């Protein structure tokens, strides 16, 4: 588990290039000593003995075995301090934090992160959600009892709600930086390096200039404070692997219900990250992440390379507070220039929390699609056509960290969609969107659009693009992709059930608006080798075999959702706009 080899090398390179944990030995040792300034030093710092080295070598494996721990601490100096409180789940590779203080702005911000991707939710929290995890029995039974919410769990004071709010999340690629600009990104990247399945080999670790700093206490229990590397010595990078296959917007699906044609209203082009890539592409116009920029500067620096056995050459020095069993209970480090950090790991805080929908939602339990499920899915388009359509709500994260929402209608029988799309932060990006079987049109009023698209549709200023042109150009957007796929999911003939069973997979059972649903992946022709959970589209289907939600992996690394309310029938939508 943990980050991939290439991901770890990338993080190490950015850490070193950005100076995140460099030159730390003297600074950190002084800082550690100052924590016990009122205590006489029992002995001077020294190299680790065999037992201490073995405890340090087993620290990451112990973290992985424990899986999930509470996390609480501070980043930055006292005058500009950011406070964090939450959890890190190393087995799921997921961090969930409540962040407050000057580094987070005036209000509390919720943070969830996976390797390479950060989701942020500013503002007040909504009322606690009533729904709990979907029971596995929901797939076999459509009874109301199957969708009963779980009893709410207690949330420790100061921590974020165990069930993440569904709205308001902005998503962007993680960007490392060597200053105070991205303290949370630096923290998240470092946390993912603190766990691995196997113990570190004592040979390479023992060759580094680790130190025993002092004996101390943590919450009344004795601990040893050790100075060690952020990373083990890394092998030379191997040749870069070929990019994972991603669905090309111009590729037609060979079978199943996936018929993706294209990829936040079309105000900027987007590029989908490769499934499984730990570092999605930087935002358009940025050129590269802050870490990459600094890496370029570092490559031209005349400064000599650090000694390979120094802590500086291995990600930098970290103060690890280890108890008698080798459990990490505190760490002290510098996450960037001017960002001294102290983080306490609360080993007893193992509450299970839910991943936000912006990062993919509840955990997957991938299984092969059964013969009965394949038959239902093969008739999905037919059932959708019979259902006619209804009201549509879209939530779309876009680069470089914006959020757009859309409301309107979809008519499957006429193959029409008509939405008003709002940028939550900047109304100049608001558009009206009209799509039919041959193309998509947008209208940019330059001001806030109404919550629902006006009827009749306004005339003039519409910009039209044909699907076939979008499929072969670089001007496609995630919103285009999502709308095209939604329109394609209605037909009067069934799909190939055998193909669906062979290539599709059920990711999990969930509950949407108190209705049990199955969440399925039906990979396109170019996604046949993509691991479960990494395809671009996900289909939420109820027990009646009708689509309830369409989900898209966006260029941000997060997910967009298009929700359908078939109880609210669409009005008479305009066939054309001009």
For 77-134, the pLDDT digits (tens) are 887 889 999 999 999 999 999 998 865 555 789 999 999 999 999 877 766 544 444 3
What pLDDT does 107 receive?
Answer: 74
| Separation of alpha carbons 80 and 341, rounded Å | 12
What pLDDT does 76 receive?
Answer: 87
What pLDDT does 367 receive?
Answer: 95
Q: What residues have CB less than 8 Å from 412, skipping those under 6 apart? A: 384, 385, 387, 388, 389, 487, 489, 490
| Separation of alpha carbons 366 and 363, rounded Å | 9
Q: Are 387 and 532 in contact (CB under 8 A)?
A: no
What pLDDT does 137 receive?
Answer: 36
| Separation of alpha carbons 493 and 486, rounded Å | 17
What pLDDT does 39 receive?
Answer: 43
The Cα angle at residue 94 between residues 511 and 362, in degrees rounded to 5: 10
What pLDDT does 142 receive?
Answer: 37
How far is Cα of residue 266 from the mean position of the Cα atoms in its chain?
23
Ranges of residues in the chain with a pLDDT under 50 are 1-41, 129-152, 236-301
What pLDDT does 207 receive?
Answer: 94
Q: Are 575 and 411 in contact (CB under 8 A)?
A: no
Query: 10 Å Cβ neighbour count for 177?
Result: 23
């Amino acid at each position: 588990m943990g980050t991939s080899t290439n991901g770890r090398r990338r993080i190490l390179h950015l850490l070193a290039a950005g100076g995140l944990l460099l030159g730390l030995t003297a600074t950190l040792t002084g800082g550690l000593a100052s924590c016990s300034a009122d205590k006489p030093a029992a002995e001077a710092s020294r190299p680790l003995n065999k037992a201490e080295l073995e405890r340090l070598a087993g620290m990451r494996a112990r973290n992985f075995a424990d899986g999930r721990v509470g996390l609480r601490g501070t980043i930055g100096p006292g005058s500009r301090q950011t406070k964090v409180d939450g959890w890190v789940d190393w087995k799921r590779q997921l961090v969930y934090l409540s962040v407050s203080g000057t580094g987070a702005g005036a209000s509390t911000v919720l943070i969830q992160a996976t390797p390479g991707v950060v989701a942020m939710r500013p503002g007040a929290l909504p009322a606690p959600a009533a729904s709990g995890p979907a029971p596995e029995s929901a797939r076999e039974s459509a009874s109301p009892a199957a969708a009963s919410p779980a009893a709410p769990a207690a949330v420790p004071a100061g921590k974020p709600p165990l069930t993440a709010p569904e709205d308001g999340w902005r998503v962007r690629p993680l960007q490392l930086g060597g200053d105070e600009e991205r303290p949370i990104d630096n923290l998240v990247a470092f946390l993912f390096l603190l766990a691995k399945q196997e113990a570190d080999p004592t040979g390479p670790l023992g060759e580094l200039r680790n130190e025993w700093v002092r004996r101390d206490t943590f919450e009344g229990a004795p601990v040893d404070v050790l100075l060690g590397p952020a990373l083990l010595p890394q092998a030379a990078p191997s040749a870069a692997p070929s990019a994972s296959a991603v669905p090309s917007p111009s590729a037609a699906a060979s079978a199943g219900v996936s018929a993706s044609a294209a990829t936040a209203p079309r105000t900027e082009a987007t590029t989908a990250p490769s499934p499984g890539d730990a570092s999605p592409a930087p935002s358009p116009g940025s050129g590269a992440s802050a870490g990459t920029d600094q890496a370029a500067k570092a490559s031209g620096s005349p400064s000599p390379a650090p000694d390979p056995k120094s802590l500086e050459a291995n990600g930098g020095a970290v103060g690890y507070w280890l108890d008698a069993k080798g459990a990490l209970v505190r760490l002290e480090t510098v996450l960037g220039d001017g960002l001294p950090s102290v983080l306490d790991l609360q080993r007893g805080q193992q509450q299970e929390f839910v991943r936000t929908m912006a990062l993919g939602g509840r955990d997957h339990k991938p299984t092969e699609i059964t013969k009965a499920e394949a038959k239902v899915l093969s008739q999905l388009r037919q059932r959708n056509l019979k259902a006619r359509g209804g009201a549509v709500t879209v939530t779309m994260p876009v680069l470089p960290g914006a959020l757009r929402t859309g409301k309107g209608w979809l008519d499957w029988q006429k193959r029409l969609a008509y939405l008003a799309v709002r940028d939550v932060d900047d109304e100049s990006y608001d558009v009206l969107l009209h799509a039919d079987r041959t193309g998509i049109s947008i209208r940019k009023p330059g001001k806030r659009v109404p919550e629902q698209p006006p009827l009749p549709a306004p005339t003039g200023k519409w910009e039209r693009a044909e699907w076939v042109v979008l499929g072969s150009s670089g001007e496609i957007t995630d919103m285009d992709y999502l709308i095209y796929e939604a329109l394609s999911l209605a037909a009067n003939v069934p799909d190939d059930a055998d193909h669906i069973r062979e290539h599709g997979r059920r990711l999990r059972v969930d509950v949407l608006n108190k209705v049990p649903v199955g969440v399925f992946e039906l990979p396109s022709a170019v996604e046949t080798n993509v691991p479960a959970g990494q395809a671009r589209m996900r289909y939420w289907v109820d027990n009646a075999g009708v689509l309830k939600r369409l989900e898209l992996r966006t260029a941000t690394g997060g997910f967009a959702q298009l929700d359908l309310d078939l109880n609210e029938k669409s009005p008479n939508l305009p066939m054309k706009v001009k």
